[in-house]
Amino acid sequence: MEVGRSSSRKPYLVVILIQTIYAGMFLLSKAAFNGGMNTFVFVFYRQAAATLFLVPLALFLEWKTAPPLSFMTFCKIFLLSFFGITLSLDIYGVALVYTSATLAAAITNCLPVITFLLALLLRMEVLKPRTTSGLAKLVGMLFCTAGAVTLAVYKGPHFNLLGHHNLLHHHNIEEHEGHVPSGKTWIKGCFLMLMSNTFWALWLVLQARVMKSYPSKLLFTTLQCFLSSIQTFVIAIAVERNPYEWKLGWNLKLVAIAYCGIVVTGITYHLQAWVMEKKDPVFLAMSTPLALVITLFASAILLGEIISLGSILGGLLLVGGLYNVLWGKSREQSIVDESCLRAEVVKDSSKLKETEEDFVSVA
């Protein structure tokens, strides 16, 4: 019994770990961008670092047992890498330049809503608002949307946990954002941010389908990283040809690239594939608000950023929405399990009855 409970808790623990890693990614990558790192070059370096980290592991652990890779499956993985990783990350970087970190965090936390809608369109998810579980999922979606909107438009009173000090002695991120984008630039940034998250959501949904034809998770992740490295290099070299922008030193930029490439892309993508195999894409997407909540407090402690009342309220709404949706999905799964158990009991009873009748007839 304890083993069963432990295994059922693993996906929940893994998604918390994933979002904690993403929070670290936000802090380090934001610090690198503030230091002048080109976003396109950064995306290429992180994918290249992930590929170098994963290739030896994939060849050693799964190469001998891997299923054959057909040309059609390869094309699917290529397109999955291009839309879900390359375009999503590159567009997100450009959108972050056009807008603000607050808006980026808000729209990113709309990812569960986008993923759920895409899953509904592809008939991978079912919504029954007349049932308790369906109503909980719907309310959770509304809470997530309300939380994202609150984070974007409402600030309220500010709270500085450490006064003017922080553990890393880092300047406040807002000091680096001295310009206020124009109306057209802001709208363009919003559109690009929404497009980036749509590609990411589509990647989450379609990855589960592609994995059915190629179930080797580590090789699957490695191949995506390798293909996205080539794709991001082509884009980066076309956009940025100044050799100075490609130089790396022993500084925070290198730390951010190594962390995002090895820990985030290399390890987290593999963990995400495992979660989607055990649960589903919507379950994974619903955990994304946790990264924002962790980032809010971590940035206040490490970078000395100021937390607003709007951030706290928005975070609470996002967590409330996450709880509602996960409870609804857990409730639906328990009903399915009970139905399967009843069907097995009825089947076993009918077999026992047939055996007894045969025994009586023979006697």
* Those residues with Cβ within 8 angstroms of residue 37's Cβ, 6 or more apart along the chain or in another chain: 253, 256
Long-range contacts of the stretch 77-81 (C-beta < 8 A, 24+): 77/210, 77/214, 77/220, 77/223, 77/224, 77/227, 78/227, 80/203, 80/206, 80/207, 80/210, 80/224, 81/223, 81/224, 81/225, 81/227, 81/228, 81/231
Give the integer Cα–Cα distance in Å for 109 and 103. Answer: 10
pTM for the whole structure: 0.74
Token pair of 10 as six digits: 């693993």
Mean pLDDT of 340-355: 61
pLDDT of residue 172: 45
Mean pLDDT of 314-326: 76
pLDDT, averaged across the chain: 76
Residue with tokens 């989607």: 276
pLDDT of residue 178: 41
Range in 43-52, 80-89, 179-188 the model is least confident about: 179-188
Confidence class of residue 77 from pLDDT cuts 50, 70 and 90? very high
pLDDT in tens, 331-344: 777 776 666 666 66
Mean pLDDT of 241-252: 84
% of the chain surpassing 70 pLDDT = 75
Is the pLDDT at 10 greater than 80? The verdict is yes
Residue 144 buriedness (CB in 10 A; 0-12 / 13-18 / 19+): buried
Mean pLDDT of 19-24: 84
Q: Residue 159: enclosing H or E segment and its boundaries?
A: strand 158-159
pLDDT in tens, 153-207: 776 777 665 554 555 544 444 444 444 455 567 677 777 888 898 898 888 888 8
Mean pLDDT of 4-31: 79
